[in-house]
Every structure is written in C-alpha cells, then in structure tokens.
Structure 1
Amino acid sequence: MNRQTLCNSGDYLICGHCQRAVRRDKKIIIAQTSRGPSAFIPEKEFGQENEVDKITNSLVEEYSTSGRLDNITKVISLHPQYLESFLRTQFYLLRLDGPLPYHYRHYIAIMAAARHQCAYLINMHVDEFLNTGGSTEWLSGLEYIPQKLKNLNEINKLLAHRPWLITKEHIQNLVKTGENNWSLSELVHAVVLLAHYHALSSFVFGSGINPERDPDPLNGFQTAVGNKFCVCDLANDNTETTSHTSNEVEQNKDYESELEALMERMKKIQEEKEEEEASQEEMATRFEKEKKESLLVVSGAFDEEAISLSNVSRYIEDPGFGYKDFARRGEENLPTFRAHDYSWEDHGFSLVNRLYSDIGHLLDDKFRMVYNLTYNTMATHEDVDTTMLRRALFNYVHCMFGIRYDDYDYGEVNQLLERSLKVYIKTVTCYPERATKRLYDGYWRQFKHSEKVHVNLLLMEARMQAELLYVLRAITQHLT
C-alpha cells in the first residue's frame, strides 16, 4: 500500500513526532502527549520565566541559527552551562566563515538527519537551506544534487551506523584529484556536520522533542494529527494516565529502593578501587565481556506493523543499511579501537583544529562540559559524586562502537547500568527512531527529568566523539 493510500484509508493513525503509521484497531485508548517542547517531559518542568530563561534567551539572540527559541534549545536549557557550548559550536558550524558554502552545510544536515528519519531536523534545515539560497530542486532528492555532495553518501551511511568500517580508502576516494573532489578542510567541516546531526537525531528522539509546527508540504512530510498524538507511543503502550492507583505508594517505595541500591553499588565500587586495582589483563577481559554482552541488549521494540510515512528516502542512499553490533558473531577478528592509540585529546583535537580552524576548541569545550557537568545530586540525594556514573554512560556508548579505554574497568558498567538503562542507551544511540516514552520512563524512575536530559546529552556527545574518532583516524592514516 502506498503512502497516499495509507493517508486516505482511515485505517491508520500517523504520528506527528516520528511520522510512522499504526493501525487504528491496535489501540482503543488515545492519549494526548505533552504540548510543551517534549512529549516525554511534562510542560511544567520548564517552569515560568526566571533567571535561567533570561540566560537562555540571551544565548539564543547571540547564537541561534534559526532566530528563534526552538524545542531542542528549550529542553537543553535545563542545563544552561552546556547549552552555551552547544549553541556556540552549532553557530560556528552553520553561520561563521568556514570551508563549505552555507547552503551545503544545511543540505549535509538534512542528509545526516535522514539516516535516522528525523523529520524534526530535516524540516528545520529545509527552511534554513532555502533561506541561504539553496535550490528547491535539490529538495526533490539526491539525484538532483551536485556529484560532490552525492559522494558523501557512503561516509554518511558508515558514520551513522558502523563508523568502524571507515578506512583511509574512503578518504582517498573523496579527496582524489577531479572536479568533484573535496579538500581536506572541506571534508573535515562536512564530517563534523554529519556526526553532529547523527548525534542530535539521537537527542531529538531520546528526549521526545515535539514538532515546532505541522511539517511543510514542500518537504513531503504529512501528518494527520499534528503533534497531539504520538502513535509510536500508542503502539508500545506508552500512554499517560491521570488515574491514581493504590499501587503508587508501593511503586515509589520500589523506585526509592532501586536508587538506594545504586548508591550502595557506587560506594562498594569506590571501596574496592581503594583496596586493589584490577590488572591490565583483567581490565581487557572485562571489556571483551561487556562488548559481547552488549549483543544481548536488544534495542527498543520496533513495531513490525508500523509503516514509515516520512518521505526521507529521497535523501538516503541504501536505506536498509543500519547499525549492527560491533562484536557480532562471525567477525571476532574486527580489531578493537584502543583510545590509547588514537584519542580525541592527543590526536583528533589537533587534526580537526588544523584543518578547520578553531572547531577543535569548540568541540573540546562541549565534550568536557557535558562530561564534567554535575550538580552533585542524584534524585533526592545531595552531595553525591556522580563521576563514575557519567563515565560509565560515556564509556558504554564507546564500548558499543568498539572503542576501549585501557585505564577503565568495564566491570563498573555492569554494576552501575541496569538492564532497562542499557536498552535505552542502545536504542537512543544506535536506533534512535525506535525510542519511546516507555523506554524513557523505564529507567532511573526516581530521577528528575533534568537528570535524564543530562543522560541524553552524554549519549549524544559520546556518540559524536566516537564517530569523529573513527573518521579522523582514517584521515590521519591517509596523511601518513
């Protein structure tokens, strides 16, 4: 059945958030999602105008690329310190002098977001593309764009789903002599944009970012119900209810006990570290164990009856290509990426900064900001050192991408990250278009929404850094 027939049949509801359709007869109850910036976070969490809002508004005035306060910015503004780093970097990539023409930058953002069917970002950058002089013909699909941009399709695909497959040959094919070749500085600008928008797609889906408005028909996205209903939530029983049950008190006790158990595990890990550190051999064994165990973590449920209606195929080459586990069976010889041999701090930062002036400093500031960000709280507890939790989240993402830190004990990941959180991390990082409210609600149930947004920021930056490490290593190998 084609898309138009589906839209007119009346048998399907179409999600304004993820642009998928699910049969009406699957669910009887339809719930209205949040009208705020996020379908997962109650609107009241964003509060009335206060000092934080004033800071956010001044940042938007200085660094906004769209000229308005969009929903991504509103959600990230729960962490104003990080927001400044994020907006400043994005503004530099899109608005300031750089190797690439402005309309190229926005089309590359569209190509990147399309890999995850992220209609929110595609619609945003279709507008920006046209505002910077882009040709409407290009919006008809990849066959209408210059060959030079088409040549990015392969590296876009690999970066988004299996960055470990990128080699120096991919780089050589892009920079080889010819009228459609990329200079190294142009290529660095392009791959930073690709990695940024792949990772931002993870944040959009992981945080349940609501559409700003009904999608523009010019871009081919149709929605039957605007942003009132989230069909992907309906399909996965993610409806909210206002009814209070007698079980709520018991549930709160369970959630509190989960939190106390996590605090106890953190304390135990710290004590064991002080007593005796694991050997290098043991640390390597624990990494391999965690890498293989990540195979058993299944991403969020994907409704087989859900039919993709977002017309993103025009922006994608090889749409069936997706994430496959780094450590999947039959490829045991795939070499682990050892951060000791090629790290962001010692290698990636200087290369990217040399080829695209100052972007290395901005990226480094953003990575450090989210990694070190803490309010020394965990849910209702204060004066808590959350360093090991933040490190476990960041390193687990890198582990799924085959990146190992020699000085990290991966046994901590299993002790600190419960299974529901691992499922959420894998879904948001590797298959973000499958993220649902149920997955978001299902982990760290005692924690604040702002703390879960911090989790999503960590996942976003860890993913972006992992992609950059692989592609920058390939560029370095091309140069040596």
Structure 2
Amino acid sequence: MVMGLHPQYLSSFWKTQYLLLRMDGPLPYHKRHYIAIMAAARHRCSYLVGLHMGEFLQVGGNPAWLRGLHCAPQKLRNLNEINKLLAHRPWLITKEHIEALLKPGEDSWSLAELVQALVLLTHYHSLASFVFGCGIKPEEEQDVENNCWAPSPHSDSSPTSDDTMGGSGGTDAMQELEVLMERMKLLQENQLEEEGVTQEEMATRFELEKTESLLVPSSDILDPSLQSNIRCFLEDPEFGYKDFTRRGEQAPPTFRAQDYTWEDHGYSLINRLYPDVGQLLDEKFQVVYNLTYNTIAMHCGVDTSMLRRAIWNYVHCVFGIRYDDYDYGEVNQLLERNLKIYIKTVACYPEKTTKQIYTQFWRHFKHSEKVHINLLLLEARMQAALLYALRAVTRYMT
C-alpha cells in the first residue's frame, strides 16, 4: 500500500520480487524464503521475518528449520558471514568469502545459486530499511489506522491550510523549504560556472561528507527485548554497521565508482549468471532514480534531479562509494542535518528509526514525498551492497 503511492515504481518492484521468489531460478523456493528470513533478521525486522516464515511453510519448507539457524542445513548456515557483512559492512567482502562458499564439497554453492542468494540478501536488507523508514508494522502491532507513519501533521493537506498555521513550527518549516528551493536554484546556475574545482578539492569534499556522517549516533546496545523468533536466526547479533573513521582504525579504502560501476560491470555479470534479474534490477534502479512529479511540497514545475542525486550519492557515500565527477558540496547544500540523520539511520541501522526522526525532516513535504525518499534509499542501498558483492565475485572469477 505504501509503495502504491508511486505506482510506476511499485510495478517494477513487484516484477523483481516475483521473479526472485516465484520464477525459475537456481535455488528451490523454500530456500529463497529462508534466505529472506536470514536477511530480515539481521535488521530485527519482525514484519518481514514473520511474512517469510509463513511463505516458507506454504512452499513446503521444513518447519524444524524455523526453530533457528542452528536447525538449518549447513549450506544455508554458511551464508551467515556474507549475510552479516552485506547487511552492515559490505566493504569488507572479499573474493575469499566468495571462494569459501564455492569450494567443492557437499555443502558448496554453485556460482548461479550464490548470485541469486546475494540478490535476495541485498533485496531484503534494503527492504527492511524501507519497512522501518516508513514505519510499517506487523499486523498484531497495528492500531486500525496506523500501519505506517501517519503523514506529518501538515503534509498532504492543501497548500493554503499551511499558511494559516500558527506557531513557529509552521514558519520554520516554511523557511527550510524556501532555503532548499533557493539553494537548488543557485546550484543549478552555478554548475555552469564551477568548472575550476580541482580533483583534490572534490576528494576532500567527499571525505568531509563521509566523516560528517558520523554525526549520527550509533547505539551499540543490543535491544534486550529482541523477540526470540528473530534472535534464533542471528549468529553474532552484536555485529552492526561501523562508522568508517573511528579514531585509530583503518578506514576502508574508498570504492571509486568509476572502477566498478553497475552499468558497466555489475549489470553484465548478473545478466550472465541470473539473466532476467539483471534487466529487472536495472529497470528498478532507473525508475526510482528518474521518478519525479516536478513538485516539491506545494511548489510545482520544479526540477528535482539534483536533490534526488544528492540523496542517492549520500547513501553511497555512507557506504564508502565515491563518484569522481560529483561535487559532494551539493550534498551539504541540499540535505539538511535532520534529513542526513534520517538517511544514515534508515540506510545503516534501520531498526533504530523512530517516528520522531521521520517527522523532523522536511516538515512541509507530503507523506508521499517522504516515501519517495525511502524508495531512493532502498534502491541506493541495494545497489551499493550489490556492487561490493559483485566486485568480489568478479575478482574471484578473474
């Protein structure tokens, strides 16, 4: 229902998910659902875990496996390490991880099976981000109306009602909006003039954004109330996203997007090993990246491409991926602090998303526009993790 606010995206999403779970592919159906459970459990996403436990049984999965990962076949348990890394620190994935899963033996994976598994894992990690980002809850936790974050108090209402809002909240939010519109306009005009920025300066701006994303508090405390139906699918539950630049630690090397791109490398590799899915993923990335209604809050006829790109590139930035030809100064100009906090939380530790951080950013925007951001987050995150995984597969093959 929530994705349905953007019908064009929803249809692309459905096609991909249907192919992953229901159509011919190297993995048997029950294992696909089990992999979905393993992925969703990494982010404590009881909504998706519950959903796929039901699906797993429906396609004839063995109920004993649902007692926990320790009851699943070794072959599936072997995915635990790569599941963990993909969910929280994809930059650590190496060709050795791929090699370990493919090495001959009774529990070994074929390359085609592994690629399907990698797509499923990244699909469900990022879907967990969407679920938490939009506040979607399992039915037993819903009140009748509230199955996701309600629209912000004054969004989705007619533009005129905003003008009558008393109190400072309304005016602050209006100012935020006007500042954003103004900055977009200035950036669009300046792009023509800013030819002279050096590569060094561009790299510095990226590093600045990467470090600044440390603003976001990451709590290392494991929620003690973690439901047992999720805990049983987790090994090493304390393992989570780690900020790049904790003092005294080696930051992961920046992944230069130019060296391994989705368009030139990832897409063709998947298309070789899992043909139709490459096509559908590509379409889904394109749809969301280009999705626009040319509106912002109550303004119409706006070119939002710059804003969409800033959000996409910021998500890739918190996962260590840098575009040489992008000026990360734009991220700073266009994404207010509350929005950055929200993006970082939903992309890196979605289980910590709260209603409060959802309502605090873009207070004048429509609920559907905030859902649009979550779609960008979902796809940018999925692409980032897939790039790391596929790069490791490519290195293993070469």
Instruction: Please classify the TM superposition score into its range, dividing by the shorter chain length.
Output: over 0.9
* SS of corresponding position for 1:371: helix
Distance 1:331 1:398 in 2: 21
- Residue equivalent to 1:228: 143
- Distance change >3 Å, CA 202–CA 305, structure 1 → 2: closer
On the 8 A contact 1:88/1:362 being kept in 2, the answer is yes
Q: Does 1:143 align with 2:82?
A: no
- Residue equivalent to 1:370: 288
Map 1:48-447 → 2, pairs under 5 A: 74-211=1-138, 213-214=139-140, 226-228=141-143, 248-277=166-195, 278-298=197-217, 307-447=225-365
- Residue equivalent to 1:16: none
1:108-158 CA-to-partner distances (Å, cap 9, x unmatched) read: 000000001100001110111001100000000111111100100000000
Distance 1:406 1:421 in 2: 24
- Distance change >3 Å, CA 310–CA 420, structure 1 → 2: farther
On the 8 A contact 1:158/1:166 being kept in 2, the answer is yes
- Distance change >3 Å, CA 298–CA 178, structure 1 → 2: same
1:15-39 CA-to-partner distances (Å, cap 9, x unmatched) read: xxxxxxxxxxxxxxxxxxxxxxxxx
Moved over 4 A (4+): 301-306
Q: TM-score, structure 2 length as denominator?
A: 0.92
Count the aligned residue pairs. Answer: 385
Distance 2:129 2:14 in 1: 17
- Distance change >3 Å, CA 172–CA 427, structure 1 → 2: same
Distance 2:144 2:204 in 1: 46
* SS of corresponding position for 1:315: coil
On the 8 A contact 2:88/2:242 being kept in 1, the answer is yes
Cα deviation, residue 255, structure 1? 1.2
* SS of corresponding position for 2:252: coil
Residue identity in the other structure for 1:460: L
- Residue equivalent to 2:395: 477
* SS of corresponding position for 1:311: helix
Residue identity in the other structure for 1:227: Q
Distance 2:27 2:108 in 1: 13
1:15-69 CA-to-partner distances (Å, cap 9, x unmatched) read: xxxxxxxxxxxxxxxxxxxxxxxxxxxxxxxxxxxxxxxxxxxxxxxxxxxxxxx
Cα deviation, residue 240, structure 1? 8.6
- Distance change >3 Å, CA 303–CA 328, structure 1 → 2: closer
Q: Give me the identity figure in percent.
A: 66
Residue identity in the other structure for 1:297: V
1:204-249 CA-to-partner distances (Å, cap 9, x unmatched) read: 01001132x33xxxxxxxxxxx42399xx9xxxxx999xxxx9744
On the 8 A contact 1:112/1:197 being kept in 2, the answer is yes
Cα deviation, residue 257, structure 1? 1.4
* SS of corresponding position for 1:340: helix
* SS of corresponding position for 1:77: helix
* SS of corresponding position for 1:121: helix
Residue identity in the other structure for 2:40: A
- Distance change >3 Å, CA 438–CA 248, structure 1 → 2: farther
On the 8 A contact 2:48/2:128 being kept in 1, the answer is yes
- Distance change >3 Å, CA 367–CA 92, structure 1 → 2: same
Distance 1:432 1:120 in 2: 13
- Distance change >3 Å, CA 330–CA 229, structure 1 → 2: farther
1:449-468 CA-to-partner distances (Å, cap 9, x unmatched) read: 00000000000101100110
On the 8 A contact 1:119/1:310 being kept in 2, the answer is no
Residue identity in the other structure for 1:107: Y
Q: TM-score, structure 1 length as denominator?
A: 0.77
- Residue equivalent to 2:158: none
* SS of corresponding position for 2:229: coil
* SS of corresponding position for 1:452: helix
Distance 2:250 2:41 in 1: 31
Residue identity in the other structure for 1:128: E
Residue identity in the other structure for 1:142: L
What is the Cα-based RMSD across aligned positions, in Å? 2.3
Distance 2:87 2:66 in 1: 21
Q: Of the two, which has the highest radius of gyration?
A: 1
Cα deviation, residue 330, structure 1? 2.4
- Residue equivalent to 1:47: none
Cα deviation, residue 477, structure 1? 0.3
430-439 vs 322-331, which deviates more? 322-331
- Residue equivalent to 1:460: 378
Which structure has the highest helix share of the two? 2
* SS of corresponding position for 2:43: coil
